Structure 1
């Protein structure tokens, strides 16, 4: 029966059907090629975004480290100045003599306890500051969203 229908339609219909199939196959191959190309491009984009993210993280790390190094240097210089202000003759001591003096001074039990108390108090203050800052950031984020 199907053969009768095709015969009734004539040779042009068969030619049209063949052309349509060939065009469909050609378009399917082209589509598959484009899909493969799209996957490659998406992979490249993902890789570039990852590289960008890593570079940003490295930059932030360097900035943060640089700031902390500056703060540490500043703190050490000021503490050294304070030592020389309290003990004017310390500038004439060699490095070994200065370390020996510092060990003797800081080995006293009462001084160790006092320093430990001061440090504990500062840590509490820093933790409270950090907690308040996190709460404020969370509030801003909540209101912003």
Structure 2
């Protein structure tokens, strides 16, 4: 039997978590590592946070862009004057670009850089017209017709 790896879809989307969780449970896929590593977490019913490990990058080295339903995080270090020779480089400082597909009505509300982690805050704001609404059920009462009885003796 063939198995499909849904991890790339699950890793690069925000707001489709219910659908991809269901598909991921059926397929049993595992996430594959990439550079830079990141987490997608749900912080509230309609709030999410993407955390990207960007050790060695400063605020000026990072760019966050939202276009239509796509969030792009780019990192590129400016060329530095090297005064020393690196004997071992275990900390990757190469340029990167990560793209995340956002579900409809998911908006980026802010970003912060703290201890080498870039936090991007997102919220799903569904317009009132798109939210489900309850329709009250009324009882069907037959209409009554009132009529006046004309007294023949009074006439």
Scaled by the length of structure 1, the TM-score of the pair is 0.24
TM-score normalised per structure 2: 0.23
The answer to which structure, 1 or 2, has the higher relative contact order (CA under 8 A, 6+ apart) is 2
| Bigger strand fraction | 2
Larger radius of gyration: 1
- Structure with higher helix content: 1
